[in-house]
Amino acid sequence: MKTLPKLKIINDPIYGFITIPNKLIFDLMEHKYFQRLRRISQMGFSYIVYPGAHHTRFHHALGAMFLMQKAVQVLLSKGVEVSEKEEEALYVAILLHDIGHGPFSHAMENSIVENISHEQISLLFMEALNRKFNKQLTLAIQIFKDEHPRKFLHQLVSGQLDMDRLDYLKRDSFYTGVPEGTVNAQRLIAMLNIKDDKLVVEEKGIYSVENFLVARRLMYWQVYLHKTGIVAEQLLVRVLKRAKQLSAQGVVLPASISLKFFLNNNINSNDFSDEVLDTFSKLDDYDIISAMKMWVGSDDFVLKNLSKMLLNRDLLKVKVKSKPFSIQKIKEKRKNLIEKFNISEEEASFFVFYGKLENQAYSMEKDTINLLKKNGKIIDVAKASDQLNLEALSKSVVKYYMCYPKNNTHSYRG
């Protein structure tokens, strides 16, 4: 591996010192596409609920790479062959796995770009960087796309027990102050092994796996699917949708050049040319916040009030239950709003809406977590566990939510 002329280390609040393994990784980190991740919050609007959750995708990418370094060391110590090229490719793939996230992480995928996920955009960034870096990312891209014959390489980057999940659970738990999400990532990594080119966990690691799956489930209900966080994210999606609608009608909205481009054009997966990708790379949380600060002065009832709600944390009320809400109830809430503010049915639908939340900590259908028993047999962790709840964790739990304005709608402006 090409080492740096001088060892570069970064101080991380979770793991202590993270060492940058080589020059390619260092140069990728220095690139503007990667530096942009400093301006994209890891957990979107979760800081509305957990004030400490201001950490970024940049933090997370470095943490996931640190865990990958640990995983490679463990596997090499157990006699698993990992070439220098494969090792470097693993670091590149995990470092760049989230590079395609837009502002506030997930909200963009559902509002100002269409039919393209952050994973697809990450791949486009990786391919663009591969051209800039003289094809040095080819193997990393192959692993990222799961096109490498050694399956465990992809599993370490994207699987049920990957370095991405191990880092974000530990990191998000730390920054939100929710201890239930704490996982002993390094103990879990110490238990990893490879059998038939697939990732397995040694039998003695079963309790660490159970702890990881339970922590994942609790973090989803307490943090990622927290009802206030869901309202904030849904409001952001609707702010951007409304801004896009108005732009399509010829309304000129104040916004940064990059944001204006996406408001004025319908961009889907077929439209992501190098120019579009470069424009996307200039978008971050700051574009959205500054735009909303200007949009509170808009003449449009919807855009103005949604922006104000998010900036002032004066959010919609949210109810969550295990059965879907009746259409009648939703119509009633919308009707009240239409009469009170003399707005259209469509405008009211931005303030009264419903959806569902799904939580599945472990999927037994694809890419199961396999335990390697002492006799060399492989068994699914859910079947080996003496905790009956692991089978329960593999069932998807669905809840339904409805959002609508609070009674004190005096803060709305017609």
Please identify which residue in the block is written with the tokens 């702010």: 239
Q: Which two tokens stand for residue 271?
A: 């439209």
Identify the CA nearest to 92 among candidates 57, 130, 43: 130
Determine contact, residues 89/63, Cβ cutoff 8 Å.
no
Q: Which two tokens stand for residue 301?
A: 């009832």
Per residue in 182-196, pLDDT (tens digit) is 999 999 999 999 999
Residue 52: is its pLDDT beyond 90? yes
Instruction: Choose between 350 and 390: higher pLDDT.
Output: 350
Query: So what's the pLDDT on residue 410?
Result: 47
Mean pLDDT (whole number) for 121-138: 97
Mean pLDDT (whole number) for 284-311: 97
User: Does residue 113 sit in helix, strand or coil?
Assistant: strand
Per residue in 239-273, pLDDT (tens digit) is 999 999 999 999 999 999 999 999 999 998 889 99
Determine contact, residues 85/100, Cβ cutoff 8 Å.
no
Residue 412: is its pLDDT beyond 70? no
Mean pLDDT (whole number) for 122-141: 97
Beta bridge partners of 194: 199
Query: So what's the pLDDT on residue 313?
Result: 96
Residue 402: is its pLDDT beyond 70? yes
DSSP letter string over 284-307? -HHHHHHHHHHHTT-S-HHHHHHH
Determine contact, residues 182/14, Cβ cutoff 8 Å.
no
Query: So what's the pLDDT on residue 395?
Result: 78
Mean pLDDT (whole number) for 100-113: 82
Say which range, 68-72, 88-92, 294-298, 384-388, has the weakest mean pLDDT.
384-388
Determine contact, residues 152/82, Cβ cutoff 8 Å.
no
DSSP letter string over 72-105? HHHHHHTT----HHHHHHHHHHHHTTTTT-BTTB
Query: So what's the pLDDT on residue 358?
Result: 87
| % of the chain at pLDDT higher than 70 | 94
